[in-house]
Structure formats: C-alpha cells, structure tokens
Amino acid sequence: MNTALASFLKYCPHDSYRREALWFETVIAMPPLRELCESWLSKLSEIGAIRKKLLDYLLPRIGGRNPDKIATEAVGAIRKFGHLKSDKPAHYLPIWTEPPLEVLIYVLSRLYPEPSVVKMEQFKANTLWQALLWQAAGIERIILEGERVGIIASITKLDRYYQFALEGTGEERLNMFLHKWENRNGDE
C-alpha cells in the first residue's frame, strides 16, 4: 500500500493537488499511458491532433488489441486528470501545467526516498515531466521555492555544478507539509 499517497490524499485540502498526485502515480504505474503522453501527446503542437493521428500512433504499439478502444480509454483518463481537452470532436490538445510546490514535494518524496543530491539539468531533462505534461521550466522555479520553505536543503550553483540537496527521508520531507495540513484541518 502506498501510505504516502494515502496520507497526501487524506490531508491535502486542495482537490487539484490531490488530482495531480494521483496523475503522477497513474503515469508511473501505467507504462503504456506514460509512453503515450511522453512520446505523442507532449509532442503535439499548439494546434493539437485529430483522432486518426492518435490511432496511427497506437496501432504499431498495441499488438492485436483494438486501437479505438484503447484510444477511448486513454483519452478519457487523461481528460479526467485535466491534461487533455477537445475544442471540437475527435481533436485533442494537451494541457500543460506547472505543478504546485506541494505536489512536487510529494513527487520528490516518491522519487528520492533517501537523502539525495540531484543534478538540476538531469532533473529537468527527465522525460517524466513530459509524460506528466508538467512544464520543465516551471519546475526549476518550484525547486527554488522549495529551498525557501525548507523542503530543499540547499541549492548549489557553481560553474558547471547546479544541483539541489534533499535531506532526510522522503517520508520526513512529505510529513512536514502533511502535518501543517493536518493541524490546519484540526483547527477548523
């Protein structure tokens, strides 16, 4: 059982934050969905694409399964998470977002469960952000904000070294925010 997710969902007061944490876990747990978002949806231009392009993308990747059914299920899931819209029938546009600090804290706790030093350029280049449709440029700004609030222990920028450090376990870092939410919810 993912106790970090259960705690986040229980104490987080924001529906949109809970939805983004679930989106992260869904993309991690479903490699075909991650590949679809990373390799196709995130590559669409601002004019989007029609369903035929989606089916063309899926057909060589799904074996003998029904591409129309898979497309319908994938589109429905991505829409529910708020990362896809259709301005007209069978036309898809990706919705890129910038994750809130609290969601990035959750993600960092899952990706780095132990104390870590992370190179910023490698972190920003992670294709996971494309799959999540999270703007990589905004993630750096959020990391800087994380240092300000104490979740990121330090940021080092020296010549070719640009990295951030995470102290404590991912559970400890996440609990800092969960306890704030828990206490605030208990006061109401």
| pLDDT for position 87 | 84
Domain at 101-187: CATH code: 1.10.10
Residue boundaries of the structural domains of the chain: 14-94, 101-187
For residue 20, give both structure tokens: 């983004």
Q: How many CA atoms lie within 13 A of 121 on its CB side?
A: 4
Q: How many CA atoms lie within 13 A of 84 on its CB side?
A: 30
| pLDDT for position 184 | 65
Nearest alpha-carbon partner for 93 in 41, 134, 24, 26: 41
Say which amino acid occupies 112: Y
Order of strands, sheet of 154-158, starting from the edge strand that comes earlier in the sequence = 116-119, 161-166, 154-158
| pLDDT for position 156 | 95
Which residue numbers in the chain have pLDDT < 70?
Answer: 184-188
Nearest alpha-carbon partner for 98 in 137, 127, 128, 125: 137
| pLDDT for position 181 | 78
What whole-number distance in Å separates Cα of residue 161 and Cα of residue 121?
9
